[in-house]
């Protein structure tokens, strides 16, 4: 891998041990993946924040680092709401360790707003073509696919190293040739909002780490040979929250870091990709299978929304569904602290029902979910991760079904679609 004179000096330890170690990590990755050199990045998003996932070894590693990041950098969700951790039964010893981790990151100049949707924050803008070093898989999929930026799926240490150096190794999705679709996904049913999580979950399993291009409602339209109805046109044009859900689920059930939607996402709009030879067809029955998951011998005892963190529109919808209702079981709604601050009317309406709006964390990276045996989610990503990360069963349902289950209007065995 080619290094400039200055980079050579850093590697020789002339700029201190922290930068030397950081560059060693980037060079090791660059060598493995055949990078020719380093490229400057615009921002970093750093995973490896929850004490649940990094433990004492991670805390020690971060605490030993010195200096400041060279580009805007932000944290992924931590293991608890940093201000209201007692509300979800976090133990004091965990809370103290978690705060130490966040302080250690803060000392390095990193913004400690812990969110997996940094692209929604003010003063953290991303432009098409920007090179980034982001590490949370749903944020990576969104940045690459919906924003047209360029990032590999960094690990926590490599994203942090990139932030400290302001550069990353130039390989993978930073290179044009690796962004071309390798598998086409033909979706042969119309889609409503919650279907995008189910679609991502089903498709991700088959796609693995390939780059898919989606053709929505393709066959249906061809067969009919007539104008799309208004409803069909809407389902064929997912909004940003639906794309967020699709990418997050594919990144979890598979390892997708970049996808295209024909005629919609930035790169697929700019150029007409040749349909790849490998094809995957998704039909309604495959999505129905995702909705059909049930906790065999129990009702969900926790309903968790906001994976990835809720946008203002998702909070608004949740607030509308909960208006003048009371929940009869735990309903947690995860979002970023900034969004919660700017939309108090939605937060108040949601919390009036007895549900809790929780910031800085999520149902997967917080140990709080470990107190429950069956978690109902409207996220394909949470559906994939809850069993392994929280030791609980997971049930997938639409936002409406999740709220209805929490208020007692809809029970197990009823349609969660």
Q: How many helices (H) and strands (E) does the chain have?
A: 17, 14
Give min distance, CB of 72 to ligand F3S, in A.
Answer: 19
Q: HSE (CB half, 13 Å, CA atoms) of 411?
A: 4
Nearer to ligand F3S, 7 or 241 (CB): 241
Binder of ligand F3S out of 42, 153, 167, 381 (CB under 6 A): 381
Give min distance, CB of 26 to ligand F3S, in A.
Answer: 24
Nearer to ligand F3S, 22 or 245 (CB): 245
Give min distance, CB of 315 to ligand F3S, in A.
Answer: 14
Binder of ligand F3S out of 30, 58, 72, 77 (CB under 6 A): 77
Question: What is the contact mask toward ligand F3S in residues 294 to 313, using x (rule: CB under 6 A)?
Answer: -------------xxx----
- How far is 243 from 55, CA to CA, in rounded Å? 32
Give min distance, CB of 27 to ligand F3S, in A.
Answer: 28
b (16+ CB within 10 A) / e for 230-254: eebeebbebeebbbbbbbbbbbbbb
Residue 365 interacting with ligand F3S (CB under 6 A)? yes
Name the one residue in this structure whose structure tokens are 């930026």.
Answer: 149
Nearest to 213 by CA among 138, 268, 287: 268
> Candidates 61-69, 311-319, 343-351, 379-387 — which segment interacts with ligand F3S by CB under 6 A?
379-387
Residues 6+ apart with CB under 8 A from 53: 79, 365
Give min distance, CB of 250 to ligand F3S, in A.
Answer: 12
Residues 6+ apart with CB under 8 A from 222: none
Give min distance, CB of 251 to ligand F3S, in A.
Answer: 8
Residue 114 interacting with ligand F3S (CB under 6 A)? no
Give min distance, CB of 366 to ligand F3S, in A.
Answer: 9
Residue 147 interacting with ligand F3S (CB under 6 A)? no
Residue 245 interacting with ligand F3S (CB under 6 A)? no
- How far is 338 from 362, CA to CA, in rounded Å? 15
Residue 362 interacting with ligand F3S (CB under 6 A)? yes
Element (H, E) at 302: strand 302-310
Nearer to ligand F3S, 18 or 76 (CB): 76
Nearer to ligand F3S, 137 or 265 (CB): 137
- CA 281 to the chain's CA centroid: 24
Give min distance, CB of 77 to ligand F3S, in A.
Answer: 4
Dihedrals φ, ψ of 265, to 5°?
A: -75, 155
Nearer to ligand F3S, 157 or 308 (CB): 308
Q: Beta strands 330-335 and 356-359: pairing type? A: parallel
Nearer to ligand F3S, 30 or 48 (CB): 48
Give min distance, CB of 139 to ligand F3S, in A.
Answer: 7
- How far is 116 from 112, CA to CA, in rounded Å? 12
Nearer to ligand F3S, 23 or 386 (CB): 386
Dihedrals φ, ψ of 266, to 5°?
A: -55, -45
Binder of ligand F3S out of 7, 81, 136, 360 (CB under 6 A): 136
**Residues 335, 310 contacting (CB under 8 angstroms):** yes
> Candidates 13-21, 85-93, 263-271, 359-367 — which segment interacts with ligand F3S by CB under 6 A?
359-367
b (16+ CB within 10 A) / e for 317-337: bbbebbeebebebbbbbbbbb
Nearer to ligand F3S, 136 or 314 (CB): 136
Residue 248 interacting with ligand F3S (CB under 6 A)? yes
Residues 6+ apart with CB under 8 A from 282: 185, 186, 187, 188, 189, 199, 202, 203
Give min distance, CB of 389 to ligand F3S, in A.
Answer: 8
Residue 364 interacting with ligand F3S (CB under 6 A)? yes
Residues forming the site for ligand F3S (CB under 6 A): 76-77, 116, 136, 138, 248, 307-309, 334, 362, 364-365, 381-382, 385
């Amino acid at each position: 891998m080619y290094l400039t004179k200055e980079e050579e000096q850093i590697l020789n330890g002339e700029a201190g041990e922290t930068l030397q170690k950081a560059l060693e990590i980037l060079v090791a990755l660059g060598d493995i993946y055949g990078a020719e050199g380093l490229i400057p990045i615009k921002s970093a998003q750093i995973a490896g924040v929850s004490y649940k996932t990094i433990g004492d070894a991670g805390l020690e590693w971060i605490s030993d680092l010195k200096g400041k990041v060279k580009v805007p950098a932000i944290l992924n969700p931590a293991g608890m709401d940093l201000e209201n951790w007692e509300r979800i039964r976090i133990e004091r010893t965990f809370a103290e360790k978690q705060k130490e981790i966040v302080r250690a990151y803060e000392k390095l100049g990193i913004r400690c707003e812990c969110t997996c949707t940094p692209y929604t924050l003010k003063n953290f803008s991303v432009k098409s073509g920007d090179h980034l070093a982001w590490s949370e898989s749903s944020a990576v999929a969104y940045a690459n696919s919906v924003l047209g930026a360029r990032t590999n799926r960094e690990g926590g240490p490599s994203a942090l190293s990139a932030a400290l150096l302001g550069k990353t190794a130039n390989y993978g999705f930073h290179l044009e040739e690796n962004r071309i679709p390798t598998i086409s996904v033909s979706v042969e049913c119309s889609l409503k909002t919650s279907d995008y999580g189910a679609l991502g979950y089903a498709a991700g399993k088959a796609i693995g780490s390939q780059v898919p291009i989606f053709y929505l409602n393709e066959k249906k339209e061809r067969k009919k040979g007539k104008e799309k109805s208004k409803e069909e046109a809407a389902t064929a044009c997912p909004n940003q929250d639906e794309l967020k859900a699709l990418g997050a689920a594919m990144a979890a059930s598979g390892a997708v870091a970049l996808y295209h939607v024909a005629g919609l996402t930035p790169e697929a709009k700019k150029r007409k990709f040749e349909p790849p030879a490998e094809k995957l067809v998704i039909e309604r029955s495959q999505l129905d299978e995702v909705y059909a998951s049930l906790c065999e011998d129990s009702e969900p005892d926790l309903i968790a929304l906001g994976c990835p963190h809720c946008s203002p529109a998702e909070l608004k919808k949740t607030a509308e569904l909960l208006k003048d209702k009371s929940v009869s079981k735990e309903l947690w709604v995860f979002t970023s602290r900034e969004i919660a601050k700017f939309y108090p009317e939605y937060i108040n309406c949601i919390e009036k029902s007895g549900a809790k709006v929780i910031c800085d964390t999520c149902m997967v990276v917080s140990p709080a979910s470990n107190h429950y045996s069956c978690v109902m989610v409207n996220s394909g990503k949470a559906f994939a991760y809850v069993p392994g990360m929280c030791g609980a069963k997971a049930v997938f349902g639409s936002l409406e079904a999740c709220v209805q289950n929490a208020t007692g209007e809809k029970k197990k065995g009823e349609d969660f679609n």
